[in-house]
Structure 1
Amino acid sequence: MTNRLDVARKKMARWRLLRILYTGRPLPVGEGLIAEVLNDQDLALTAGEITNMINYLENKGYIESTTVTPAGEGSHMEAKLTAHGTDYVEYSVADDAGISRPAQD
């Protein structure tokens, strides 16, 4: 059984991830920076949880992710908002029960 507090934490983290990508647009944001910002917000997410969030939001059509392998370095994931993701962050589309988007002011 999933803990309700854990579910709420994941929903809030998904919203914050969308906001991070919104701030970084139109450029993609690397998974390292995403992890750093989310964990600075006291969410204490593992790398696996962040990857799962990225996959979840990508499957919903809010973001696109790619794996980048710079010459001589290890690979890492980058993500950016889709047009649908931008609309969601800007409150232009209906709310999603899987994301804890605050009420619009």
Structure 2
Amino acid sequence: MDNIDFEKAHREQTRWRILKVLDAGRPLPVSELVISQALDDATLGLTPNTLRRELTYLSDRKLLTIHGRHAAVWSAELTHFGIDVVEYTVDCMPGIARPKKWY
């Protein structure tokens, strides 16, 4: 029987959902407060620190740009590569739970 790493699956699902929220907010940056509210019903149990950790991860992967890192509230927007990942025009790297393309 395979062991499922629930924490890893949770992180990867959170990252995908963040990318989808930012895609819905394009072309404007989306505040972390809006991202948190949008993901609140997804039962992800995001803390502000967890959200910032995942935003930083996605920024390090060049999928999004973070604005206001030294301000009280961050905002983020997708890079062209992040848009391509969300739109399934490029392969998705490990670490993000992008569903398989069904169409």
Task: Tell me if TM exceeds 0.5.
Answer: yes
Post-superposition CA distance 1:51-97 (Å, at most 9, x none): 0000000000000011189xxxx731000000000000001111211
**Separation in 1, partners of 2:40, 2:23:** 18
Tell me, what secondary structure is at the counterpart of 1:41?
A: coil
Task: Please give the alpha-carbon distance, in whole angstroms, between the structure 1 residues aligned to 2:77 and 2:48.
Answer: 18
Letter in 2 for 1:48: N
Q: What percent identity do the matched residue pairs reach?
A: 34
- Whether 1:56 and 2:53 are equivalent positions in the alignment is no
- Give the TM-score normalised by structure 1: 0.88
Structure 1: gaps of 5 or more residues: none
Q: How many residues in Structure 1 have an aligned counterpart in Structure 2?
A: 99
Tell me, in whole angstroms, the C-alpha distance in 2 between the residues paired with 1:37 and 1:6. Answer: 21
- Which residue of structure 1 aligns with residue 47 of structure 2? 46
Distance in structure 2 (CA, Å) of the matches to 1:52 and 1:80 = 16
Aligned to 2:29: 28
CA distance in 1, matches of 2:88, 2:48: 28
The partner residue of 2:84 within 78, 82, 87 is 87
Shift in Å, 1:24? 0.3
One-letter amino acid of the counterpart of residue 97, structure 2: S
Residue 66 of structure 2 aligns with which residue? 65
Tell me whether 1:10 sits opposite 2:11 in the alignment. yes
Could you tell me how far apart the structure 2 residues matched to 1:98 and 1:68 are?
23
**Structure 2 residues not aligned, in runs of 5+:** none
